[in-house]
Amino acid sequence: MSGGKSGPPRLPFLVTVGVTGHRAEALETYDAPAIARRMRAILETVGETAQQVGASAGRFFRDTPPELRLLSPIADGADQIAAECALDLGWDLQVVLPFARVTYRASLSDGSARKRFDQLVERASAVLELTGDGSSRTEGYVMAGRATVAHCDLLLAVWDGEPARGPGGTGDVVQLALTRGTGVIHCHPEEARTTELLWSAFDPEVLTLTHDVGVVRPFDRANLEIALRGLLLPPPDADEARFLAGYYGERRRRIRTRIEYPLMLAMAGVSRFGAKDFRERHFSAQSRDEWQRHRSGCGDARATRATADLLEEAYNWADSLAAHFAQTYRSGHIFGFILGGLAVCIGLSAFMAPWWKMEFAGIELVITFAIILNAWVGTKQEWHRRWLDYRQLAERLRPMRSLKLLGLAAPDPQGTATNPTARRWIEFYASSVWRAIGCPTAALDKGRAAKLAIAIADYEVAPQVAYHRRNAERVEKLDQRLETVGFALFLATLVISLATVVGMAIGAQFIDRFGDWFTLVSAGFPALGTAVFGIRFQADFGGDALRSMATAATLGRIDEEMRRDVTLPRAADLTEQAARVMLADLDEWRLVNQQRELEFG
């Protein structure tokens, strides 16, 4: 059943350009007005190309005009020039400051730069202050560069091409952007030098270094369009486009009609069977409560409430659909295996009641048809693929709420390290959600960073540790009990077969009296035992338990580290690693399960 007409949220087509570059004193030897003209022309080209790319892919995005955003530290020099050009062109401005606002303002070169700073901050839609521990200016610049790369798709680098003069310099930021798959527009301060576009996907076979020839192309509309399509659009594969369209067309199921899996859990004594197994509302309420606990526990989440709403909506859709199709697919497997075993028993029952032979044949025919129909419908409706896709999407989205709070943390880029373009529609959608959230507004000093790290440990990492431990215990118990049932069925078969052999050898009368029943047990019980074995094999409960325990152990160590009065960069590193661990567990789980489509029992 459908729960309303609306489906999963479509996302805006949005391009974010970050800025890094020389300060005013370093640009004094160059033609500053010419640099400003070139930067404006670059932003105009990006905007016009983005409009073109967005118009060609409108079916994948929200029906709104493309959005253009600039992310700048607004230091005197290239940062302020770019910010003013962007605002003049109608772009949104978001600001990343390497120090507290007052401290950073005081570091600017003169009164004119401070006045421009004040005006830009006033017009910014978000301001992130990375105050660190206050003892190292270098740390602030490193964090600002990392935060800029974390939230942009393209990096505009006004740079002479020389190695960084220290940590956090323009050269370091460019290298970070390239290794994370961000496109870099290199605008040399000398007007005679050609502007270049650097992107690691231009040379997808190796990890990129700054001066690798393979990643460098002229900055023009053709090359920029290639980069924007790779960075912002879903993969060109027709199946992936169909899967994405199917996701947008999903509707909530208020009632879950396939209950075989929760029934099996209840019969095995693993969980209770009740209304929660029929109603989507119960699951959605649990998800909302968990999200609210995270919001209230991580108090800084309120700084990004509007954008967090979009992330929560996207996550809840993916999570709810994944749970629905998990129960549907697993129930379909149990249905096929169990009815396959019962069909054998029904067929053998005709020996005991030959006068009902026609009825038994009819029942066996209905069961066989039901097995075939179940497998056909499950394959046609792609229960298996939708379950795996939606679960992967949900688990890519979940940690974003914590990563975003830390300002400079980010999920791993889409695709691979050498080719950062989306391979699956899931990667495209998750990246689009991250992009739409934008840069948070916060002032993150060392004390707040340490408290936030503990809150993330409490409300993100620790719950995942607890979940994996519970899951390991539950599925291991289920696997053991199914193993006991299967063993009992085969043991009963052995006993009956032995009794039959002995009875026939001594000419016992019970063979003639109960021979048909012995035949039913000796042939039917192995069929049921094989069905139980098939359920265990397809579900891989034992492997699932081992993976969950390994993931819980790794996340547990990260949880401990996050409680050690950490700095902001350390908190970001640990939260990124936690997200990476959770996703690695999920990738391994998908690899195990993706070949296990519904079969005919």
Residues 6+ apart with CB under 8 A from 597: 378, 379, 384
pLDDT at residue number 600: 44
For β-strands 183-187 and 196-198, DSSP reports them as antiparallel
CB 70 within 8 A of CB 93: yes
Query: 3-state class of 95 per DSSP?
Result: strand
3-class DSSP state of 158: strand
3-state secondary structure of 175: helix
If one counts every other C-beta atom within 10 angstroms of the C-beta of residue 474, the result is 18
The pair of three-digit structure tokens given for residue 349, joined into one six-digit string: 């029952």
How far is residue 45's CA from residue 85's CA, in Å, rounded to a whole number?
Answer: 13
Q: CB-based burial of residue 274 (10 Å sphere; 0-12 exposed, 13-18 middle, 19+ buried)?
A: exposed
Q: So what's the pLDDT on residue 593?
A: 61
Among 237, 268, 572, smallest CA distance to 421 is for: 237
342 vs 348: CA distance, rounded Å: 10
pLDDT reported for residue 514: 63
CA distance 445 to 100: 8
**What pLDDT is stored for residue 511 in this prediction?**
63
Q: Which residue, among 50, 41, 44, 43, has the nearest Cα to 15 in the 3D structure?
A: 50
Report the pLDDT value the prediction gives residue 233, as an integer from 0 to 100.
96
Dihedral (CA of 234, 240, 245, 249) sign: negative
Q: Could you tell me the pTM of the whole model? A: 0.90
Residues facing 197 on adjacent strands: 185, 217
Provide the β-strand partners of residue 96.
128
**What was the pLDDT predicted at 383?**
92
Q: Which tokens hold the place of 334?
A: 């149990």
Cα(158)–Cα(22) distance, integer angstroms: 6
Instruction: Answer whether 405's CB lies under 8 Å from 456's CB.
Output: yes
Q: Give the CB-side neighbour count of residue 172, counting CA atoms within 13 A.
A: 16
Report the 3 state secondary structure along 3-31: CCCCCCCCCCCEEEEEEEECEHHHHCCCC
- Alpha-carbon distance 598 to 595, whole Å? 9
Report residues of the chain scoring pLDDT below 50.
1-4, 302, 305-306, 600-601
Residue 415 to residue 28: CA distance in whole angstroms = 41
Is residue 326 a contact partner of residue 385, using CB atoms and an 8 Å limit? Answer: no
Q: Is 230 strand, coil or helix?
A: helix
Q: From CA 185, how far away is CA 198, in angstroms rounded?
A: 6
Task: Give the pair of three-digit tokens for residue 414.
Answer: 């889409």
CB 155 within 8 A of CB 43: no
